[in-house]
Structure 1
């Protein structure tokens, strides 16, 4: 028991404790609420809001009718979701070879590619995977990736600049049919948790035009020849005068509608559905499950259907 005596001032102790608490709270608040830096340059098409007066494609109504014929947009949450990993100078390096030899030089030739030991490609036929090297500001992107002991193979891939445009070049390789970065436009798990998607979206469709594409796309794998085909590289948006709150959308659909209205979305690849949107594979999810974050927002299964107000979608000129 403490002996009785003249009470000492507690002010220094209180001040010290308060200072520690203020500093601690400041650190926690900063790390939890500050949005992570977005990939790609501020002028990247993925990061640039759509101007309200952007012209609409004369064939917009026909294209929208074609891609909306199922009445929904499908969310790629498991089979074709994008596993995204972080790497730094301490991450193990691997040899990566391309199995497709007639698309030009393999972008990984001469590189020791950083891939975390626990990295696993998406379980679908795309075998997609992205590794962000934050120390070197590079994005390593893989299509049909497989590990073979101490090396990896991939059908093809790309090495893109994390501070670049988000669209590849023939020198850097390609991991999507349009040339878009595999990271570009992907809806991240953390964005869904925070309730904001601060970039354009990445879309796939079974109705992409054969041979026809438009910038920022640099190529296409489209096969559809109908007059209502939509080119890879085309940008869609939700009309700027639409009141999103008037539709009573589910949480996930509302987030996507907000992104579509502010930033729009790019058609970046062929897909098996009329229209689908790319999501990050939740690293905490089971092999055949989308994960808790998506489930809580009303997307409890792969290819969850997201209703959007199709009648107000526009394909931009």
Structure 2
């Protein structure tokens, strides 16, 4: 059975190619990566701030997932701040359509140990996937999560933006997706079995400190939480120079597997984080599996950002979440503009791009 997520013609499973057109702003965006991280190269999230993936079968126990977002002690205020006018009895409040009932969760399943507490469950026989952010198993054995999406494991891997009745300025988390760019959290994940096999046959996902403010690329992104004016749009694809001799970089064999995928398939900006990081699956609950001695979190740091380029992309959509009381996003907005911004209101000068009415997704303004 093919263990690659999504269909063969999925955006995530397409190679970039050596003759791909480079975006006119590539040099500017790569310089921005160098500025925020000192050109020290990508980090690999392996032990925290990543996504554990569990496989379910017909025998896996199922449970109902309660909506946690209205009770989330560290997130309620800022995630609801720009959504208060739109909350009603019919609002999804964090759980997408079809998510919540009869979710299979293996007994050994554990969310990511960081505050994001991501978790994904896949069922290869039924061809379904479920993913969550801020998931938690409560003392009574029940589960709740701030977000939740159910989708086709062998589908496109790109959500239909029209399914989210989101208003410009809000967070996509209120509508189900667990990534702030609105992509599945299993998309672009480096899987343990892929490193053992010596091949990664899909694009990789990464997070960066310089994700662009109110701009994303569809496909694959349907939203953004970027706080950097003029930064790299979430959904943009970077490619490691395909002519680069990997043997010249002093990489371990497993790191070469990742670097080769960055040359062949590229990597996609999907979220905001300190510096710039890729994601290896979290191995909590997987007895006998470990990244120790196989892949190093610092193993790619020797590849300078100057060896990457941003590939020309399709539709650029000027919509997304505005800076609010979120430490990373608000910090970036302040750093690049000098404008203090802590109360979640629309920043001065951004009024033209924020529309209070319901918007139609997937079209550029």
What TM-score, normalized by structure 2, do the two folds share?
Answer: 0.69
Count residues with an aligned counterpart: 274
Give distance in 2, aligned partners of 1:139 and 1:114. 10
Gaps of 5+ in 2: 71-79, 84-90, 165-174, 313-365
Q: 1:99 and 2:64 equivalent?
A: no
State the partner residue of 1:308.
303
Q: Which segment is superposed worse, 98-107 or 144-153?
A: 98-107
Q: Which segment is superposed worse, 306-315 or 154-163?
A: 306-315
Q: Which segment is superposed worse, 274-283 or 248-257?
A: 248-257
Offset, 1:210: 1.0
Contact 2:112 2:284 in 1 (8 A): no
State the partner residue of 1:31.
none
2:183 to 156, 180, 183: 180
Q: 1:55 and 2:21 equivalent?
A: yes
1:198 to 182, 201, 209: 201
Please identify the structure whose Cα radius of gyration is greater.
1
State the partner residue of 1:277.
278
State the partner residue of 1:73.
42
Contact 1:252 1:306 in 2 (8 A): no
State the partner residue of 2:54.
85
Give distance in 2, aligned partners of 1:259 and 1:293. 21
Give distance in 2, aligned partners of 1:109 and 1:42. 25
* 1:290-301 → structure 2 map (5 Å cutoff): 293-297=290-294, 299=296
Indicate the SS of the match to 2:148.
strand
Query: Against the structure 1 CA distance between its residues 316 and 52, is the aligned structure 2 distance closer, same or farther, given a 3 Å change threshold?
Result: same
1:162 to 153, 164, 186: 153
1:151 to 125, 142, 154: 142
Give distance in 1, aligned partners of 2:248 and 2:41. 18
Give distance in 2, aligned partners of 1:176 and 1:48. 21
Query: Against the structure 1 CA distance between its residues 285 and 78, is the aligned structure 2 distance closer, same or farther, given a 3 Å change threshold?
Result: farther
Gaps of 5+ in 1: 1-34
State the partner residue of 1:247.
249
Deviations 1:131-167 (A, max 9, x none): 0022321110010001122421111121121011112
Indicate the SS of the match to 2:11.
coil
Offset, 1:304: 6.1
Instruction: Provide the aligned C-alpha RMSD in A.
Output: 2.3
Contact 1:253 1:308 in 2 (8 A): no
Give distance in 2, aligned partners of 1:140 and 1:110. 9
Query: Against the structure 1 CA distance between its residues 151 and 293, is the aligned structure 2 distance closer, same or farther, given a 3 Å change threshold?
Result: closer
Query: Against the structure 1 CA distance between its residues 54 and 310, is the aligned structure 2 distance closer, same or farther, given a 3 Å change threshold?
Result: same
Contact 2:33 2:305 in 1 (8 A): no
Offset, 1:303: 6.4
Deviations 1:185-208 (A, max 9, x none): 100111111221111101001110
Indicate the SS of the match to 1:190.
helix
Indicate the SS of the match to 2:7.
coil
Give distance in 2, aligned partners of 1:305 and 1:51. 21
Offset, 1:46: 1.1
Offset, 1:74: 0.9
Structure with greater strand share of residues? 1
Give distance in 1, aligned partners of 2:143 and 2:176. 17
Q: Which segment is superposed worse, 70-79 or 229-238?
A: 70-79
Indicate the SS of the match to 2:145.
strand
Offset, 1:36: 4.2
